[in-house]
Amino acid sequence: MGTKQQIFQVALDVPLRRLFDYLSPCEEVSLCRGMRVKVPFGRQSRIGIILNQTDTSCVPANQLKAISQLCDTEALFPLSLCDFIVKTAAYYHHPIGEVAFSGLPRGIKLGKPINFPVDETSYLVDEIEHHALQLNLDQQKALDAIVLKQSSFQVFLLEGITGSGKTEIYLQAASHLLLKQKQVLVLVPEISLTPQTQDRFKARFGQEVICFHSKMTSKQRLEAWLKVRHHKAAIVIGTRSSIFLPFSNLGMIIIDEEHDPSFKQQEGFRYSARDLGVLRAKMANCPIILGSATPSFESIFNAKNGKYQELHLTKRATNTALASMTLLDIRHNKLEAGLSKVLLKEIEQNLKQDKQVLLFINRRGYAPIYLCYDCSWIAQCDHCDARLTYHHKKQVLICHHCLKQRSLPLNCPACHQAQLNPVGQGTEKLEAFLQVHFPHTVIARIDSDVTGKKGHLESLLSKAKNKEAQLLIGTQILAKGHHFPHLGMVAVVDADGGLFSVDFRSVERMAQLLIQVAGRAGRVHEAGKVFIQTFHPQHPLLQSILHQNYLKLAEQLLQERQAYHLPPYTYFALIRAQGPKKQMAESLLTQIQQQLQKQQNKAITISGPVPAPMLKRQGLYRYQLLLQAKERKPLHQMLSYSTAILENSKLAKKVHWSLDVDPIEMF
C-alpha cells in the first residue's frame, strides 16, 4: 500500500466559509502551516495561506489541484496566529480567508517575496532606564497584582478615574515583560491617540516601540508587520487590526479605553478587538489589561462574576481634585448658537484668567436641519432616511451617512418661498459665533470636517496641548483619552442627545462620553470646572454624572438589563440584509426566520425580520433578524445553520447580507 498523499488546506481571501484543499506541487517540496502559496482557483490564480494539513478530503482525489507556487521558504505566519485565525473565524461565523487576510499589509496579501533574516536575534530591550514615576498606593497595588500574574493568563479590569495614572501602570507592567524578552501589544481606539501613546512609551523604552494602523503607508505597515514577526519590535501601539499581528512571543496585551465602540469593526468582518484581545491573551497564556475610567457594562459584569480581576484607581496621579460639575438648566433660557448667557459668562471669565476652555458638541457642520418656515419642508437625503446637514463654509448640504452632497436650493422645493433657514447648531456654527464674540481669542475647531487631510489632526492636537489655541471646539474626537495639560474648563453644549434613544446602550454611551470629556479638565495644575447644559436636569443619568458615580449608575442599569433579558445577561446576534428593493431584503430574512423556526429550539428567541431603525441608507433598504439566547452554545449552533442556509439561497446572491455576533449597535 502506498502512503496517503498529504493535502494542504488553504485560506483564500474569498467570501466562503471554508478552507480549500490542494496537493503539494511535488514530493521534494517541504510545506507547513503558515506558509503563503499561489494556487489555481477557478480560472484565476490566488494567494493563500496554509492553515492545516490532512490526509483526507471531501473532494475526489482525481479532482484535487496542486499548489502552483510557494511564496515563502518557511512559515511566515506563526502557528499561534494560525490557531487564532481559525478560532476567530469559527466564533464570528465569518469566511476564514477574509479573517486570515484581515489587516494584512498589501505586500503580504499579494504574495511578494519576504527576506527572512539570517540573524534571528531579537532586538528587544536588555536594560530599561529608570524613568519610572513614583506610584501612589492604589497604583502600586494594581501593579503588584499584574506583576504577580505576568506569566499566566488573567484579565485585569483597571478602572481608574480620568487622570489617575493608568498609563504609568501600563509602562511599569510592560517593563517587567520586556526584561524577559517578551513583546507587548497596546491597543488604542483611535489613530489620533497613537502619537501621544507612542511618545510616552518611546520616552521610557526607546526605539523598540512601533506603531501599526491604517493611515500608515503600505511600506510602513509591511516594515512594522515584519518587525513584529522577526522580534525586532518590543512594543506595538496600534488600533484594532493590530490584534492580528504575527506575535509569537507575546507577553502582555493592554487595551486602553476598553469601553470605546471603535474597537468593534462595523463593516465587513464585524469583530471586537477587545474580545479578541482576551482570546489571544488566553491562547498566549499571558495577562491582558482592560483600562478605562468608564468600563463597558460587559466588562463590569465579567468582573462581578469573577472572570476578570478588578483593580481600582480612586485618586488622580497629580493629586489634583476631580473637576467640579454643574448642570445648567436651559429650559427657560434664550440661547445664542446653543449657548446660554450663564455659560457664555463662564467662558469669558475663564479666558480672562488665561485658562483654556473646551466646548463639546457631538454634531459637526453648521446646522443639522435646513428648513422652510412657511411650509415646514426639511432638506432630506435622497439615498438615506436622514436629514441633510448644512455646511456654511462650503455652502452645501451634506448627508453624514452616505456623504452625498447637494448644492443649496435657491427656493423651497415644496412651496417655492425664497427664504430657507439653518436650524440647530453644530461645531461650525459654534465656531462662527465665538469668533465674533471673542475676536481676540485663538480658536481651534477639531472635528472630522477639518481633520481629513494628512497631518491636520496632529497639528490641531499639538496646538491644543501647547495652548497655542485657548478656546477648543470639538466632537467626540476630543473625548477619547487626550491629555490637555492647560485645560481649565469643559462645557457640554447639549447633553440630551442620548437620553431617549431607541438603542438600549445609548444611556451607557452617553454616560461614558460625558464623563470622558469632563475628565479632560484640570488634570495637572488645579481642579477644573465642567458645565453641562441640559433641558432635563433631573434625569437620573445626569444626576449620577453630577455626583461622578459611574459604577453606581452601571449597577442600576445592569439590573434593568437583567430584568429585560438584555446583554450581558443574554447573547445577541443580528442577521442583516440590504437591497435596492424593500421586499428583497425582507423576503430573504423571512425565509431564514421560517427555516430557523422549524428547528423548534426553545433556547433561541427569534425576533423579526423588522426594518432597521434607519430603513434606507446609501440607497439600500435594510432589514434585520435578531437571534437571542441565554447561553452561547445553542446560539452558535443556530448561527452555523443560518449561514449554511444563506450561502445556498438563490435570493441571498441578489441581496447583501451580513452576520453580526455580539452587536454593539442595532442600526
**Share of residues in the chain with pLDDT > 90 (%):** 57
What's the mean pLDDT in 565-585? 94
Is the domain of 199 the same as that of 56?
Answer: no
- Residue position matching grid coordinates 470629556: 517
Quote the pLDDT of residue 164. 86
415 occurs within a structural domain: no
Report the CATH number at residue 30: 3.40.1440.60
Is the domain of 579 the same as that of 542?
Answer: no
247 occurs within a structural domain: yes
Is the domain of 295 the same as that of 442?
Answer: no
Give the confidence band of 481 by pLDDT, cuts at 50, 70, 90: low
d(CA 528, CA 550): 19
pTM: 0.92
d(CA 516, CA 506): 15
354 occurs within a structural domain: yes
d(CA 543, CA 327): 9
More confident residue, 366 or 271: 271
More confident residue, 19 or 553: 19
- Residue position matching grid coordinates 481606539: 189
CA 403 to chain centre: 21
Instruction: Decide which of 539, 560, 581 is a domain's last residue.
Output: 560
For residue 134, which amino acid is it? Q
Q: 505: closest CA among 363, 298, 360, 659?
A: 298
391 occurs within a structural domain: no
Quote the pLDDT of residue 117. 66
Q: Which of 142-151, 277-286, 525-534 has the lowest mean pLDDT?
A: 525-534
Quote the pLDDT of residue 303. 97
Domain with 262 in it: 137-313
Q: 295: closest CA among 163, 478, 481, 158?
A: 158
Quote the pLDDT of residue 451. 61
What's the mean pLDDT in 291-315? 95
What's the mean pLDDT in 272-289? 98
Check whether 224 has a pLDDT greater than 70.
Answer: yes
Is the domain of 32 the same as that of 179?
Answer: no
Is the domain of 531 the same as that of 449?
Answer: yes
- Cβ–Cβ under 8 Å, residues 244 and 102: yes
The full DSSP string for 463-526 is HHHTTS-SEEEE-GGGGSS---TTEEEEEES---TTTT-SSTTHHHHHHHHHHHHHTTSSSSSS
Check whether 3 has a pLDDT greater than 60.
Answer: no
Q: Which of 32-41, 251-260, 540-549 has the lowest mean pLDDT?
A: 540-549
Is the domain of 359 the same as that of 476?
Answer: yes
Is the domain of 439 the same as that of 523?
Answer: yes
DSSP-derived letter for residue 135 is: P
377 occurs within a structural domain: no
Is the domain of 554 the same as that of 585?
Answer: no
Quote the pLDDT of residue 513. 85
Report the CATH number at residue 335: 3.40.50.300
For residue 242, which amino acid is it? S
Check whether 226 has a pLDDT greater than 90.
Answer: yes
What's the mean pLDDT in 13-22? 94
Quote the pLDDT of residue 1. 40
Angle between helices 166-178 and 194-205 (to 10 degrees): 50
d(CA 585, CA 615): 11
117-164 pLDDT, tens per residue?
A: 655 555 555 555 557 788 999 999 999 999 999 999 999 999 998 888
> Given its phi and psi angles, is residue 236 left (phi above 0), alpha (psi -120 to 50 degrees) or beta?
beta
188-204 CB burial, b ≥16 within 10 A, e <16: bbbbbbbebbbebbeeb
Q: 478: closest CA among 585, 581, 357, 620?
A: 357
d(CA 395, CA 323): 39
Instruction: Decide which of 313, 334, 349 is a domain's last residue.
Output: 313
Burial class (CB in 10 A: 0-12, 13-18, 19+), 560: exposed
Give the confidence band of 2 by pLDDT, cuts at 50, 70, 90: very low
DSSP-derived letter for residue 322 is: P
Is the domain of 196 the same as that of 147?
Answer: yes
Quote the pLDDT of residue 397. 92
Give the confidence band of 484 by pLDDT, cuts at 50, 70, 90: confident
Quote the pLDDT of residue 464. 78
* Residue 225: partners with Cβ closer than 8 Å, 6 or more residues away: 104, 105, 108, 212, 245, 246
Is the domain of 180 the same as that of 277?
Answer: yes
Count the domains in the chain.
Answer: 4
CA 3 to chain centre: 49
Q: 279: closest CA among 304, 250, 303?
A: 250
Query: On the CB side of 230, how many CA atoms lie within 13 Å of its CA?
Result: 17
Quote the pLDDT of residue 129. 54
**Share of residues in the chain with pLDDT > 70 (%):** 95
75-100 pLDDT, tens per residue?
A: 999 999 999 999 999 999 999 999 99
Is the domain of 65 the same as that of 203?
Answer: no
Give the confidence band of 482 by pLDDT, cuts at 50, 70, 90: confident
Instruction: Decide which of 273, 293, 313 is a domain's last residue.
Output: 313
More confident residue, 462 or 508: 508
Q: Across the strands, what pairs with 358?
A: 472, 490
* Residue 270: partners with Cβ closer than 8 Å, 6 or more residues away: 92, 94, 264, 658, 659, 660, 661, 663
- For 402, the 3-state DSSP assignment is coil
- Strand ranges (E), 314-395: 324-329, 356-360, 369-371, 389-391
399-436 pLDDT, tens per residue?
A: 988 889 999 988 899 998 888 888 888 888 889 999 99
- For 361, the 3-state DSSP assignment is coil
528 occurs within a structural domain: yes
Give the confidence band of 260 by pLDDT, cuts at 50, 70, 90: very high
The CA-based angle 79-85-91, given to 5 degrees, is 140
Is the domain of 282 the same as that of 332?
Answer: no
* Residue 650: partners with Cβ closer than 8 Å, 6 or more residues away: none
| Rg (the chain; Cα; Å) | 27
107 occurs within a structural domain: no
Q: 472: closest CA among 449, 440, 446?
A: 446
Check whether 524 has a pLDDT greater than 70.
Answer: no
Report the CATH number at residue 591: 3.30.70.600
| C-alpha cell at position 360 | 463639546
Quote the pLDDT of residue 65. 92
d(CA 51, CA 35): 8
What's the mean pLDDT in 44-65? 91
d(CA 191, CA 612): 30
65 occurs within a structural domain: yes
Query: Taking the alpha carbons of 39, 45, 48, 52 in that order, is the dihedral positive or negative?
Result: negative
